[in-house]
């Protein structure tokens, strides 16, 4: 029942049991009395070990997001390890049945690792998730090379489901630096309009490895 429980002492302001968030050598703020609330006890609650909670969330919607990102983290880690294993098994000049070389597989694994690092950050390294009610069919946004994502909590598919997990992963890959420039006149999205889906389907191999949806398709085939 209490496996991985985190026990908290309000006197010293610290958890004294297993914590999924460790000390980060390049971020002194990850080690201190108020790390459990991203060093701002007036604004934040315990961030729980994943993307830190920022603005726009209700407790109910954050619970759905948090559950999705925790499950996603495990799948992204597993997919990354699988890609690395496949790359290690290829001889020079060989490719997979999908046409990916060892360097392609390694590149996608690296992107997943960077996205996973953002998801696992919990805010101590500056990565946060916002919630917003957006118009249209946009499920979320992510700052390219940045540290924030914003989820459209009004989207019909928002919740603890594969669609939400895919969106979180996609936006985390934007934080990791991946982009999706247009191809044949459309932005290549796996689940977009007809034109966007055709752009995604016909994207050349060398562009697939840096396309967020193609990389996430290694997590959700």
Same domain, 179 and 197: yes
* pLDDT for residue 197 is more than 70: yes
- Tell me what pLDDT residue 9 has: 64
Across the range 151-159, mean pLDDT stands at: 96
- Tell me what pLDDT residue 17 has: 55
Question: What confidence tens digit (pLDDT) does each residue in 8-39 have?
Answer: 566 666 655 554 445 445 455 455 555 555 55
Domain carrying residue 204: 49-216
Residue 221: inside a domain: no
Predicted confidence band at 49 (pLDDT cuts at 50, 70, 90)?
A: very low
Boundary residue ending a domain (15, 30, 46):
46
What's the alpha-carbon Rg for the chain, to the nearest Å? Answer: 19
Same domain, 206 and 109: yes
Same domain, 86 and 29: no
- Tell me what pLDDT residue 3 has: 41
Tally the domains of the chain: 2
Residue 26: inside a domain: yes
* pLDDT for residue 165 is more than 50: yes
pTM of the model: 0.78
Least confident segment among 18-27, 66-75, 148-157: 18-27
DSSP for 115-158 reads: HHHHHT-TTTTS-EEEEE--STT--EEE-TTSSEEEEETTSTT-
Residue 183: inside a domain: yes
* pLDDT for residue 157 is more than 70: yes
Same domain, 129 and 141: yes
**What is the C-alpha to C-alpha distance for residues 33 and 13, in angstroms, rounded to an integer?**
6
With pLDDT > 90 as the criterion, what percentage of the chain qualifies? Answer: 71
Q: What is the mean pLDDT of the chain?
A: 86
């Amino acid at each position: 029942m209490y496996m991985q429980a985190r026990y908290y002492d309000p006197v010293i302001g610290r958890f004294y049991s297993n914590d999924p968030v460790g000390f980060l050598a390049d971020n002194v703020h990850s080690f201190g009395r108020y790390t459990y609330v991203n060093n701002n006890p007036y604004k934040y609650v315990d961030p729980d070990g994943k993307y830190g909670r920022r603005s726009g969330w209700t407790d109910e919607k954050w619970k759905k997001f948090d559950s999705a990102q925790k499950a996603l983290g495990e799948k992204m880690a597993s997919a990354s390890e699988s890609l690395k294993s496949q790359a290690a098994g290829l001889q020079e000049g060989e490719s997979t049945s999908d046409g990916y070389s060892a360097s392609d597989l390694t590149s996608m694994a690296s992107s997943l690792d960077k996205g996973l690092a953002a998801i696992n950050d919990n805010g101590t390294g500056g990565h946060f998730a916002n919630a917003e009610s957006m118009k249209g069919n946009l499920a979320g946004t992510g700052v390219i090379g940045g540290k924030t994502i914003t989820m459209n909590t009004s989207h019909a598919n928002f919740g603890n489901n594969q669609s939400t997990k895919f969106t979180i992963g996609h936006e985390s890959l934007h934080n990791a630096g991946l982009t999706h420039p247009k191809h044949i006149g459309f932005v290549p999205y796996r689940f977009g309009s007809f034109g966007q889906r055709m752009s995604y389907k016909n994207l050349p191999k060398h562009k697939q490895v840096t396309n967020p949806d193609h990389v996430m398709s290694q997590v959700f085939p």
